[in-house]
Structure 1
């Protein structure tokens, strides 16, 4: 009965969301604030994969109506925690008698997210840890939610997106969400990333504790920090150091190791008192094949050259735009919007003029979706890079992207 009730609620939220977007798509009015409030209330209670997908969508700051984006962003920082009784049962399944392992476990979560929540604990030796606890029954919930997601994604046909691309996008999202249930994989990713990026002095990744971890509980050493979303009061020098660290790490991740942290919402990052960037969550790490990197850099190269025909050719090589009728005017407008970020010298990511041009471009991109047909197998990569871009915006980053990308563009030309 509970499963049927969850399915009905998800279907209702999906239908309401789809209806609002379709009304907007065809010239009608939609109350985005009311929709956002309904989604926040419903998904915050339901949690699980549906809430995770809403958090993913909330990162598309340039895509969503502002009122809707603001409400969905609350899911990244204000989600209602699950009652302690259910979390305690999961901890007892892992540890047995909690008092044998811990002097104290805080019943109020340190953080509450879509797939689990985090509780501070203190060992008998006095060390403070965090326990990331997966919500009970999540594996079963996941498959039911994915079935509803597949139904909701059929609305994409209203945008003339072929079913084969919608299916490919669904499989990519499903694989990513299933991977987040594997806490052993996340523990391995934490250990791998700590070793791999130890030379980046401005980066800090919590140490996993395998002896206290299991399939549904991940134990890590506690690292205190100010969440990225709450960094508005930090001094500019700190923000610039953190932004440079974030950009250096992402570049090395992609072009040296062929991987990418694929959950860039601001709640997964913090800044320590001494100005180091903390990465709390490595539950979603995706491989990035060199062929995709090379094709994306070739697309950027053509964009910066302002060459719409070369942009169209690069998009085809990336796997998109298989049909006829390339929107050359849209390519030109896209190039004009993106190019200022890559001019020589430090560019200000907080420049509202750049954001305005990108935001104004979004409805035109959606209107041309049937001609652009972006490749489904790089949509997660594109969404992730977009999320990291908005983290740089929040930091007010001033980065010389011209100097940073020049060697990468030369590599892609070879």
Structure 2
């Protein structure tokens, strides 16, 4: 009965979204903020796959109407928490006598996500920890939710998103959510990343506590931090330090270890009191094969050289060329839009002229995706890097990407 209720609510939200999109396609006006508020309220209560999709779409700053994107972004930091009674049942099932393990567990979460929510606790030894608790019953409703979600995603065609891209996004989302059901895997990722990046003094990754972890509970030492989205008013030196750390870490992830943190929404990042970058969530880490990375760097090389034919060839190598490909003029415009970020010397990621041009160009690029249809792994890598780019924009980063990229191009033979 409860599952049927979820289905009805998902279909209701889909109908409301479809109506707003149809009015816009017919030349009418839609109240995007009102739609965003309705989606926020409905999805933050339902949790699960639909909420995860909305969080991903909120990262598409270049696609959604600004009012809608702003409301959906609240799902990354203000989602309605699940009542304590359901969370308590999961804790009791894992620990048995909760009072035997913990002196106290805060009943009000300080973070709510699509798959679980986070509660602070104090152990009997007096240590403050955080418990990421999976929403009860999520494993039972996941597959049914995914069926409904695939139907709802057809609405993306009204935003001129090619069906191939929607299909790839769905497969990516489904695989990610199934993997995120096991919190032991995330605990292993935390331990691996802590050991791997221990030399980066400005990077903090919470320590998992294996003795307190289970399939549906991830326990970590508590690390306080100010969320990235709340750092716009922070001192410039702090923001530049965070941006540099983020860029250094991403470079090492990709070019040394062949992996990438694939959930770059701003709620997963923070700054501690010392101004160090904190990464809270490692539930989604993807492998990046060296040949895939090299092919993408060859595309970047062609883009920086403004060589439209080489850009087309690089996309064909990535599996992204179908039919005639995109107009050469679109390749050239894309190259011109990207070039300022890679000019010699520090470039300002906060320069609205740069990402305004990228936003203006984006609809034409998406329209061309009917002929440019990269495989799912390339789309996931592209989306993830795009999310990290917007985090650098939010920080107002000033980075010398020319100096950073040239050695990397040579390193992979691009």
Q: TM-score range by the shorter chain?
A: over 0.9
| Structure 1 match to 2:262 | 262
- Report the CA distance between 1:178 and its aligned residue: 0.8
For residues 8-157 of structure 1, what are the structure 2 equivalents within 5 Å?
8-21=8-21, 23-24=23-24, 27-155=27-155
| Structure 2 match to 1:297 | 297
- Report the CA distance between 1:31 and its aligned residue: 2.5
In 2, the alpha carbon distance for the partners of 1:344 and 1:383 equals 26
More displaced 10-residue stretch of structure 1: 123-132 or 185-194: 123-132
Give the gaps of 5 or more residues in structure 2. Answer: none
For residues 324-343 of structure 1, what are the structure 2 equivalents within 5 Å?
324-343=324-343
In 2, the alpha carbon distance for the partners of 1:351 and 1:17 equals 32
| Structure 2 match to 1:369 | 369
Q: Deviations over 1:61-109 (max 9, x none)?
A: 1221101111101111111100000000100001111110111110000
Compute the RMSD of aligned alpha carbons.
1.7
Contact 1:327-1:371 within 8 A present in 2 as well: no
Q: Deviations over 1:137-194 (max 9, x none)?
A: 111121111111222234456658455x654442222111111111010000000000
Query: Kindly tell me: are residues 18 and 134 of structure 1, through their superposed partners in 2, closer, same or farther at Cα, counting changes over 3 Å?
Result: same
In 2, the alpha carbon distance for the partners of 1:260 and 1:401 equals 19
Q: Deviations over 1:2-25 (max 9, x none)?
A: 211211211222233344345545
In 2, the alpha carbon distance for the partners of 1:267 and 1:365 equals 28
In 1, the alpha carbon distance for the partners of 2:412 and 2:89 equals 52
For residues 210-289 of structure 1, what are the structure 2 equivalents within 5 Å?
210-289=210-289
| Structure 2 match to 1:352 | 352
In 2, the alpha carbon distance for the partners of 1:397 and 1:411 equals 25
Query: Kindly tell me: are residues 332 and 29 of structure 1, through their superposed partners in 2, closer, same or farther at Cα, counting changes over 3 Å?
Result: farther
Q: What is the TM-score of this pair, normalised by structure 1? A: 0.96
Contact 1:183-1:214 within 8 A present in 2 as well: yes
Query: Kindly tell me: are residues 167 and 231 of structure 1, through their superposed partners in 2, closer, same or farther at Cα, counting changes over 3 Å?
Result: closer
Query: Kindly tell me: are residues 315 and 25 of structure 1, through their superposed partners in 2, closer, same or farther at Cα, counting changes over 3 Å?
Result: farther
Aligned length: 413
| Structure 1 match to 2:201 | 201
SS in structure 1 of the partner of residue 334 of structure 2: helix
In 2, the alpha carbon distance for the partners of 1:111 and 1:170 equals 25
Contact 1:324-1:371 within 8 A present in 2 as well: yes
Contact 2:312-2:325 within 8 A present in 1 as well: no
In 2, the alpha carbon distance for the partners of 1:290 and 1:22 equals 43
Contact 2:326-2:372 within 8 A present in 1 as well: yes
Does structure 1 residue 401 correspond to structure 2 residue 401? yes
More displaced 10-residue stretch of structure 1: 123-132 or 28-37: 28-37
In 2, the alpha carbon distance for the partners of 1:162 and 1:48 equals 23
In 2, the alpha carbon distance for the partners of 1:154 and 1:327 equals 26
Contact 2:41-2:80 within 8 A present in 1 as well: no
Query: Kindly tell me: are residues 28 and 307 of structure 1, through their superposed partners in 2, closer, same or farther at Cα, counting changes over 3 Å?
Result: farther
